[in-house]
Chain A
Amino acid sequence: AQKVTQAQTEISVVEKEDVTLDCVYETRDTTYYLFWYKQPPSGELVFLIRRNSFDEQNEISGRYSWNFQKSTSSFNFTITASQVVDSAVYFCALSSYSSASKIIFGSGTRLSIRP
């Protein structure tokens, strides 16, 4: 079964703090892709990053970084020096051949950054 678990329903931090959003996935496939999307209050989901199952290198993009660990089936997302504009719901997602390449989303983590 394909499943994405985001155990943190809501997180609230003060601006400039670092925050990590957790994502744990389940799949029996060896080839799969993991994604993070951001959903601001306006509603549309915005693609942030894609990582394939063969590339365990961590990635950094500005204040954003992602830690992919196959050993623990996790793909965590860290925002460094958070800003109020980072407030949104963040979704982790999985795509694999067993899901017929459909993107399966986790339940999301609502992140609130307080000024």
Chain B
Amino acid sequence: EAGVAQSPRYKIIEKRQSVAFWCNPISGHATLYWYQQILGQGPKLLIQFQNNGVVDDSQLPKDRFSAERLKGVDSTLKIQPAKLEDSAVYLCASTTLAPGVLTGELFFGEGSRLTVL
């Protein structure tokens, strides 16, 4: 079974530029998450989708971050304009379980490392 795929693995941009990250979850996984992991910290949830609908985006900085999952499969996370503090690894995760189910084991991709200069 293929795992969660993410691209690009690495991206370096100047501040105020834009960047987009792509995630392809495990086939059949209805729930998809984007996490931000700053160096030395644990992952922090940015947004949660079930199929193509947003379940929770309360921690997404909506003035600069946006995410979509138009067909309920792949997802894209965009940052525009980027700030220095956006330097982090952006992790995508998926699960078969619906949001609200506590027991969810998440399957993570390898992440996209963003460096903002």
Residues of A within 8 A of B (CB): 4, 9, 31-33, 35, 37, 42-47, 50, 52, 91, 93, 95-97, 100-108
CB < 8 Å neighbour of B108 from A44, A50, A108? A44
Q: Is the interface of B mostly helix, strand, loop or mixed?
A: loop
Q: What are the residues of chain B within 8 A of A46 when measuring CB–CB?
A: 108
A-B contact pairs, 10 of them (CB 8 A): A4-B42, A45-B91, A45-B93, A47-B105, A52-B103, A91-B43, A95-B103, A100-B100, A101-B104, A107-B41
Q: Given the known A-B contacts A44-B109, A45-B108, are A108 and B102 also in contact in the complex, defined by CB atoms under 8 Å?
A: no
Closest CB in chain A relative to B98 CB, distance in Å: 9
Q: What are the residues of chain B within 8 A of A45 when measuring CB–CB?
A: 43, 91, 93, 106, 108
The answer to whether the Cβ of B72 comes within 8 Å of any Cβ in the partner chain is no
Closest CB in chain A relative to B25 CB, distance in Å: 13
Q: What are the residues of chain A within 8 A of B40 when measuring CB–CB?
A: 9, 107-108
Q: Is B110 within 8 A of A43, CB to CB?
A: yes
The 0/1 profile, CB within 8 Å of A marked 1, for residues 71-103 of chain B is 000000000000000000101010000011111
Q: Given the known A-B contacts A45-B91, A100-B56, A102-B56, are A50 and B41 also in contact in the complex, defined by CB atoms under 8 Å?
A: no
The answer to whether the Cβ of B24 comes within 8 Å of any Cβ in the partner chain is no
Q: What are the residues of chain B within 8 A of A35 when measuring CB–CB?
A: 105
Q: What are the residues of chain A within 8 A of B54 when measuring CB–CB?
A: none
Instruction: A98 to B41: give the CA distance in the assembly, Å.
Output: 22
The answer to whether the Cβ of B8 comes within 8 Å of any Cβ in the partner chain is no
Task: Kindly list the 6 A-B residue pairs having the minimum CB-CB distance in the complex, ordered from nearest.
Answer: A105-B42, A45-B108, A43-B110, A43-B111, A44-B110, A44-B108
Instruction: A105 to B3: give the CA distance in the assembly, Å.
Output: 21
